[in-house]
Structure 1
Amino acid sequence: MTGTGGVLQDGKIFVGASVDADHKPLGHEYLELKFGNRHGLVTGATGTGKTVTLQALAEGFSDAGVSVFAADIKGDLSGVAAKGEPKDFLLKRAEEVGLQPYVNDQFPVIFWDLFGEQGHPIRATVSEMGPLLLARLMNLNPTQEGVLNIVFRVADEQGLLLLDLKDLQALLVYVAENAATLTTKYGNVAKATVGAVQRQLLVLESQGGDRFFGEPALELSDIMRTTRDGRGMINILAADKLMASPRLYATFLLWLLSELFETLPEVGDLDRPKLVFFFDEAHLLFDEAPKALIEKVEQVVRLIRSKGVGVYFVTQNPIDVPEEVAGQLGNRVQHALRAFTPREQKAVRAAAETFRPNPNIKTAQVITELGVGEALVSMLEGKGVPSMVERTLIRPPVARIGPLTAQERQERIRNSAVAGKYDETVDRESAYELLQKKAQETAMAEQAPAEADAGGFGGIFDTIFGTGSGRGKTLTPTQTIARDVTRTVVNQTAGNIAAQIGKSIAGSAGSSIGRSVVRGVLGRLLRR
């Protein structure tokens, strides 16, 4: 099988040409598709060519019918959706690596954006995120995380859906108001701790989390599409704005990885992966991450390959990835590193030691000498053994290098395979609405007898209800039965009225003013 302009050759992705110290060609370097699910690592200092390498790999996987998901930190990767141009420096590199003929092309792309501005909105529900990742996202301490676990348990036991942040906020209020009762069943639930979680929730909301949580939630099948001609779809997540909230960025990508792991069936080792996942700025995932989370990442990376998914971490420094995870990464591309500081020198030594030695290369020295578009490359081969490290000129992409214009991006969004599916938010009945309804029904039920006691109805009603002139009169057996039945009817009617009021208010909650009023009413009712 041969792809565009030699990008894909005999079931292998053409990565580049190995060269000696004088840049004389020695051979070609490939990533074998059957080892594409054995994961990988692309590292190097800023400006050394990591994004171009990532694009070259994405093009190869797409040509092979493998779907790709990648975060676009600077917007440069979006150019893969546009046909490249035969510029002189690209033609020269193509000739140097033996990529002949060099044929420009473009690739199928779906653009995504958590904020819905530079791509289709991408959402998850609070329930899908789960307490572990949500605690990480809100930077909760162990005590606060324990309360969050109780909130999820209460939601499960009472059949309350947690879809968006207002659902979680409503349930936190409910837990705080019923802390005494819940403590006897689940352990200590301090109102102060609940308040701390609520404050972190407000911070998350201000960072844009309210746009991410909700429905319609992402369907994994939509990022694992292929075109009619058999090419894999390249899914690009706009992450330039998202990087202002690095914890949200990292937690979202980890959630997506976890969803793939938990949802996809076991398929063993395939001739090619189903999906390749590029995790750019991977250090954000591990910065200040608790041990439990790192263990979860290690587990997912170790086992997800049997689901047909390859994970490629992209970062500046190879020591950003914990050893437990780095040990699972078989395919490696190391761009230039600087060695000015002790930490940088340590990174160079660590990177050199991870490669299978080549007697003709002083690996640690070469890492600091590599030019832009050069890298040390070692890929799995044969029976899954890493190849000896080679100094490699990375092949040029065949699509555009650089970003799309805003107009080009919007055109592709309008014509996307998922256009219209995720654009509008759906706000169905969930924990917020159900708790609101429950509180209003309780309030109306308490209010109805009080209003009846305030004044008489006259005649037989005074006698039946014991109000007005009928207060204190002795009732006959028939009147006693009539009183009890009538009170039941009145109370049920009050409850129905409350339910209708709840539906009416929920229906008007589309505007920010209406939603704020309802939240205020709900808070007051639950604090009684």
Structure 2
Amino acid sequence: MAQDETIFIGASRRPDDSYQKAEELLLKYGNRHGLVTGATGTGKTVTLQILAEGFSQAGVPVFCADIKGDLSGVSMMGQPKDFLLARAEAIKLDPYDFAEFPVIFWDLFGEQGHPIRATVSEMGPLLLSRLMNLTDAQEGIMNIAFRIADEEGLLLLDMKDLQSLLANIASRADEISGRYGNITKPSVGAIQRSLLVLEQQGGNHFFGEPALRIPDIMRTTRDGRGAINILAADKLMMNPRLYATFLLWLLSELFEVLPEVGDIDRPKLVFFFDEAHLLFDEAPKALVDRVEQVVRLIRSKGVGVFFVTQNPLDIPETVLAQLGNRVQHALRAYTPREQKAVKTAADTFRPNPDFDCATAITQLGTGEALVSMLENKGVPAMVQRTLIRPPAGRLGAISPEERKTIMSLSPVAGQYDQTVDRESAFEMLQKRAQDAQQAQAQPQQTTTQSGGGGWTLPDFGNGGGGSQQPTTQRRQAPAPRTSTRQTATEAAIKSVVRSVGTTLGRELVRGILGSLRRKR
């Protein structure tokens, strides 16, 4: 599979239509990234499979998405079918050995693989805004929300944490706007509605704990083979924005977590981004710049990235320029855009005088491709018309029973199956609201108590000085009245006061008493 320091890809065709020269990928340039393109049904999935097999056999872990379920067959030993044996004979692949490879199945929904989760904090405001298709103003509020969470020590782990934080920010809009800029409740409401849509699309399965540990996708077996991590993406593709955002998050995590290693003899991990056009569809410039930065710099972390898509025009030129290893399957040229794609693909190869590259792209058969890999000193090799080698693993999807068996024997079985819900922003903000309610209710409760808790009353029986004794002591020893004398007229009027009980009556009586005292 991988002989010495290379991965055998196929054999190039001679002018007489025989195959002679082996086309190989040098492992030391596996982290210089690559591109696999071609129309539907031209053999891209098989090319992806044989590359994954080659890296695994060389001890390099692989992460790739399985859009249709076909890639899962790599976990089972291949079967000697006639067309596979004929291709092996044509390219002089002797011996043609079948093998099964160590596979770990993953699934964001936890149905066809081990669940993959990330926390809201790890995803960050930029990727979340991309995921929810927020406007610039709404993205600004998302950035403010993350800033507030950092300042106030609020852990953002799952979707209910972010929903609680947004509700809290809306209630404090006036306070926060003075520090960070205008926050409007309609904008916050729009973000909350986007979160609801994301939750309905399955986002609540993705956000939470335990979050994926990067070392778990970089495992090797005891015999030195790298794990092939396969993400079940058939259901995930129903929400292509979530798919693209997740893979970009994973790339970003690899960039943040892995140390610098420089140029090494083989990659630490190879990442295959299938249906790569989904990453760039309607992507804002900031996001494209982020992808370009990650692709350019992650090479020094020992990570290779291979984009797999139908059309080379799907990849921005700034990213396309970073991809040194190229495999181009057949393209059709019926429309002006397709003709432009053929010309673009042909122009990216180092020309071969034996054939016209643009013409060859439209004439390639299934399983054939134009191949140009980096040679010594990282220079692209002359493009060759190549028949791709047959895979060692099984072609096509495996059965659900076989998948369950592999998952039960997986090295991460049981580690991610159960969701963990520890105290985070949701619980902390709930407690904060309850404490605020109790603080508001406390003064109302104390006013109903006699004497008022913590309050002091003046002691009129001690020479008029203020008393500092507690209320309970005053009740046990009430101050004696200094005089009990009152005239008959005053007694009668006071009786009237008790019977009247209105403000007008009290004011009238006070006037009468005052006039009586003045007359005395």
- After TM superposition, the structure 1 = structure 2 runs for residues 187-266 of structure 1, keeping only pairs within 5 Å, are 187-266=181-260
Which residue of 2 is the match for residue 476 of structure 1? Answer: 467
Paired positions, count = 469
**C-alpha distance in structure 1 between counterparts of 2:226 and 2:473, whole Å:** 73
- After TM superposition, the structure 1 = structure 2 runs for residues 11-90 of structure 1, keeping only pairs within 5 Å, are 11-20=5-14, 22-90=16-84
Q: Is the 8 A contact 1:463 1:473 kept in 2?
A: no
**C-alpha distance in structure 2 between counterparts of 1:202 and 1:299, whole Å:** 31
**C-alpha distance in structure 1 between counterparts of 2:297 and 2:383, whole Å:** 26
Pairing 1:293–2:287 present: yes
Change (3 A) 1:314 1:464: same
Rg larger in structure:
2
**C-alpha distance in structure 1 between counterparts of 2:56 and 2:65, whole Å:** 16
Which residue of 1 is the match for residue 359 of structure 2? Answer: 365
SS state of the match for residue 205, structure 1? helix
**C-alpha distance in structure 2 between counterparts of 1:243 and 1:13, whole Å:** 30
Change (3 A) 1:210 1:348: same
**C-alpha distance in structure 1 between counterparts of 2:165 and 2:247, whole Å:** 26
- After TM superposition, the structure 1 = structure 2 runs for residues 308-323 of structure 1, keeping only pairs within 5 Å, are 308-323=302-317
Using the size of structure 2 for normalisation, the TM-score is 0.88
Q: Is the 8 A contact 1:17 1:25 kept in 2?
A: yes
* 1:272-326 CA distance string (max 9 Å, x none): 0000000000000000000011011101101101100000000000110000000
CA positional deviation for 1:464: 3.8
Gaps in structure 2 of 5+ consecutive residues: 461-465, 475-520
Q: Is the 8 A contact 2:20 2:91 kept in 1?
A: no
Pairing 1:427–2:421 present: yes
**Cα RMSD, aligned residues only:** 1.8
* 1:492-511 CA distance string (max 9 Å, x none): xxxxxxxxxxxxxxxxxxxx
SS state of the match for residue 133, structure 1? helix
CA positional deviation for 1:471: 9.9
* 1:244-288 CA distance string (max 9 Å, x none): 000000000000000001110000011000000000000000000
CA positional deviation for 1:447: 1.9
CA positional deviation for 1:449: 2.9
SS state of the match for residue 463, structure 1? coil
SS state of the match for residue 20, structure 2? strand
Which residue of 2 is the match for residue 279 of structure 1? Answer: 273
**C-alpha distance in structure 2 between counterparts of 1:400 and 1:392, whole Å:** 22
- After TM superposition, the structure 1 = structure 2 runs for residues 375-524 of structure 1, keeping only pairs within 5 Å, are 375-453=369-447, 455-456=448-449, 462-465=450-453, 476-479=467-470
Which residue of 2 is the match for residue 515 of structure 1? Answer: none
Q: Which moved more, 1:279-288 or 1:19-28?
A: 19-28
CA positional deviation for 1:98: 1.4
Letter in 2 for 1:342: P
Change (3 A) 1:464 1:143: closer
User: Between the two proteins, what is the percent identity of the paired residues?
Assistant: 69
SS state of the match for residue 15, structure 1? strand
Q: Is the 8 A contact 1:19 1:391 kept in 2?
A: yes
Which residue of 2 is the match for residue 113 of structure 1? Answer: 107
Q: Is the 8 A contact 1:464 1:482 kept in 2?
A: no
Using the size of structure 1 for normalisation, the TM-score is 0.87
Letter in 2 for 1:269: D
CA positional deviation for 1:97: 1.1
Which residue of 2 is the match for residue 99 of structure 1? Answer: 93
Letter in 1 for 2:241: R
**C-alpha distance in structure 2 between counterparts of 1:84 and 1:214, whole Å:** 38
